[in-house]
Structure 1
């Protein structure tokens, strides 16, 4: 039987059945006890009234009720007639001794004292048999009603549970989006609600797939279209930089243009990689991590300008990785850009380890609250800061997750930040 909602319903009906059984047993037991006591009391009161009527008729010796189950004792007023001590000491009214299967009526009047002792063993057996029969009938009725109700509820809920299982196994990117989900395995036709839910889920999946495809198409097309003007900008700036008569101010401006163009190319590369998410993966190859690190460090040096900051590579490890080198370059570029922007003095250490690359700086650092939101798109601790748009670490984090890497940040305000990209290196041949 499928798990989930049907199992919960089964447990609910089991608990309901047990409670119903307890209620039936308790109710029948209490009803039997009250009925037995009412019959006994009525019998004793009728016998007592009949005896007192005979006394009132001035019978010389009114006969006491004596049968196989009833025994009577009478002590007239002013006479000393022996009475069994176990009944003489009882208070007036009807007393019950369930263990001895006995009931005693003590009726004290001015005419005398009447003691009636009724043996109830036969009545108790009859009442117990009746109670057992009622309990059995009640239990059978409870079982039948619970079973029928459970089966009906199960038939109503099971299609929904099957539909949930189909949704959990359904991959819209590989499945047929032209037809709704099919809930099979039932003799009866699924209910109108289940069919409506199936069509609604199908429609939602189709709309989501269309939205994702439009986003990927836009990202891919926009990224490709942006490459042409960027190529023009880079070629034109290279030609201007080759002019020996260019002023120092113009040279610095062109270098800033070239750095901005390289940053834009990095963003485009990241967008193109992320646009392939769930589709064709970028071409992977085996390469030396150190080569990519050294290349990105050299590209980042101009970002420091005249800042008293030392940018260096440390670590003797030489890990190799099987992945797209451009992806690792984009991630490291984002980390290095952040380190260069937010470090005014001190040093930036790029440490290469056997299974990780760490970019540690002595910059302004981040508070714990900033660290909790740092991977959110467009989040910036200082909304008025001209440095960055709050999107670099988001791209780096998405790229790392895309290829199974782990990006960790450790930072303290005023002490600096250490960003660690942990990966699984390729084993040495």
Structure 2
């Protein structure tokens, strides 16, 4: 069975249940003991009174009278002492008798075939029982409330080091190479062992991040040289007047792919930085990025027979990281072009974000939730692309505190909404390798 409560709540519940069990057992024991003792005392007292009253019939001394709260009857008794019909079935010993709205304790003796019955009103006894029950109930409730309070206090004290450790682990500085160890701040107990385990895990994570950042930086720098060679070769080939149309188209495609690869390498380098110096990063407005990308993508979109719609709206004058904003909007436009064969692609700017819509093939419902994961593509039959574009968009948005959402168009197509309102999140260094799982 899976518990949904927090550990502190479980401690409080455990204290409450333990208190309920112990206090309840004591309460039942007290009630049962008092009831039994009082019944024994009443039985003994009634027996003594009945033996005293038997003298009335044996010696004829009628000076012995019942107490005011007692009734005395016997077989063949005269007047008020005549045995009522409803008491004639009682056997010898102690009984509880209910007559009309009243209850009595009864003691019965049979001497020489004659039945003697002494009744005593038990109203006082019942009143004492009610008081006893009330006192026991109040004590039980107070014990339960005290247990809950003590459980809450103890839970706070017990969970305080765990909560502090969780906050330290969540702190972004723990991923830095010079982050201090956690274990020295805690005693040599279970929490200390947990802190030691976190130190070991975080140490391995720092080493892995360092290796990935170095790998990303090295690969990115190494890729720049062959990309520059490819780009310059494409420029030289395009200047050749003898190049036929088919060859020129292929060269242009290679040149465009080189440009996209340069942008991707730049994005990887930005994501791999350990320290985010937002003040030193290049900034650009939403409208400027949109105009730049519209000019870049208009020709390939219209060449495919699609309509490119641009609604500039009234975006705020705020500026954003140039590389990241270009990567997010560019990948969404590229994705729309790749999966749209007819109709339109629409870019709409909002006050603090933008929307990219298309009339393409859409995304199957079973893949919709996984579209922002690496290597997931909407239509596997379309051969181009590794399925990293939307994953890169998601990682950039998470890193910058932005949000991206996907919905379907009617009757077909996709709608991506990006909100650039910065959500204060704990940023963490992201390497290019983290995009692959």
Q: TM-score, normalised by structure 2?
A: 0.72
Aligned match of 2:39 in 33, 37, 40?
Answer: 37
Q: Does 1:293 align with 2:295?
A: no
Q: Does 1:198 align with 2:195?
A: yes
Equivalent in the alignment of 1:167: 166
Equivalent in the alignment of 1:17: 19
Q: Does 1:396 align with 2:381?
A: no
8 A Cα contact 1:51 1:62, kept in partner: no
CA deviation profile, 1:226-247 (whole Å, cap 9, x unmatched): 1111011111111122122223
Structure 1 CA distance for aligned equivalents of residues 270 and 192 of structure 2: 39
Structure 1 CA distance for aligned equivalents of residues 407 and 16 of structure 2: 53
Question: Alignment RMSD, CA only?
Answer: 4.5
CA deviation profile, 1:135-161 (whole Å, cap 9, x unmatched): 8xxx79x97xx98xx79x949x94554
Q: Does 1:181 align with 2:183?
A: yes
Alpha-carbon distance, 1:251 to partner: 1.6
Q: 1:223 to 1:65 in 2, by over 3 A?
A: farther
8 A Cα contact 1:315 1:352, kept in partner: yes
Structure 2 CA distance for aligned equivalents of residues 371 and 6 of structure 1: 38
Q: Does 1:421 align with 2:418?
A: yes
CA deviation profile, 1:288-313 (whole Å, cap 9, x unmatched): 43332232223224544842223353
Q: Which secondary structure does the structure 1 equivalent of 2:369 belong to?
A: helix
Matches within 5 A, 1:45-64: 61=59
Q: Does 1:226 align with 2:208?
A: no
8 A Cα contact 2:176 2:206, kept in partner: no
Gaps of 5+ in 1: 185-189
Q: Which secondary structure does the structure 2 equivalent of 1:320 belong to?
A: coil
Alpha-carbon distance, 1:383 to partner: 2.4
Q: TM-score, normalised by structure 1?
A: 0.74
Structure 1 CA distance for aligned equivalents of residues 410 and 362 of structure 2: 4
Alpha-carbon distance, 1:74 to partner: 7.4
Q: Which secondary structure does the structure 2 equivalent of 1:168 belong to?
A: helix
Equivalent in the alignment of 2:435: none
Equivalent in the alignment of 2:375: 378
Q: 1:264 to 1:354 in 2, by over 3 A?
A: same
8 A Cα contact 2:362 2:412, kept in partner: yes
Q: Does 1:114 align with 2:116?
A: yes
Q: Does 1:350 align with 2:352?
A: no
Equivalent in the alignment of 1:187: none
Alpha-carbon distance, 1:334 to partner: 0.7
Q: Which secondary structure does the structure 1 equivalent of 2:380 belong to?
A: coil
Matches within 5 A, 1:304-319: 304=301, 306-315=303-312, 317=314, 319=316
Structure 2 CA distance for aligned equivalents of residues 309 and 119 of structure 1: 101
Equivalent in the alignment of 2:269: 272
Aligned residue-pair number = 397
Structure 1 CA distance for aligned equivalents of residues 242 and 110 of structure 2: 139
Q: Does 1:364 align with 2:380?
A: no
CA deviation profile, 1:57-84 (whole Å, cap 9, x unmatched): xx974889959979896757xx563443
8 A Cα contact 2:285 2:319, kept in partner: no
Could you tell which deviates more after superposition, 13-22 or 306-315? 13-22
Structure 1 CA distance for aligned equivalents of residues 53 and 163 of structure 2: 78
Structure 2 CA distance for aligned equivalents of residues 223 and 154 of structure 1: 54
Q: 1:67 to 1:159 in 2, by over 3 A?
A: same
Structure 2 CA distance for aligned equivalents of residues 197 and 173 of structure 1: 17
Structure 1 CA distance for aligned equivalents of residues 307 and 72 of structure 2: 119
Q: 1:256 to 1:119 in 2, by over 3 A?
A: closer
CA deviation profile, 1:86-132 (whole Å, cap 9, x unmatched): 8775342434479999643234566323234568899x69x98xx89
Gaps of 5+ in 2: 1-5, 423-437
Equivalent in the alignment of 2:335: 338
8 A Cα contact 1:162 1:183, kept in partner: no
Q: 1:86 to 1:281 in 2, by over 3 A?
A: farther
8 A Cα contact 1:87 1:104, kept in partner: no
Alpha-carbon distance, 1:215 to partner: 2.4
Structure label with greater radius of gyration: 1
8 A Cα contact 2:175 2:205, kept in partner: no
Structure 2 CA distance for aligned equivalents of residues 119 and 413 of structure 1: 85
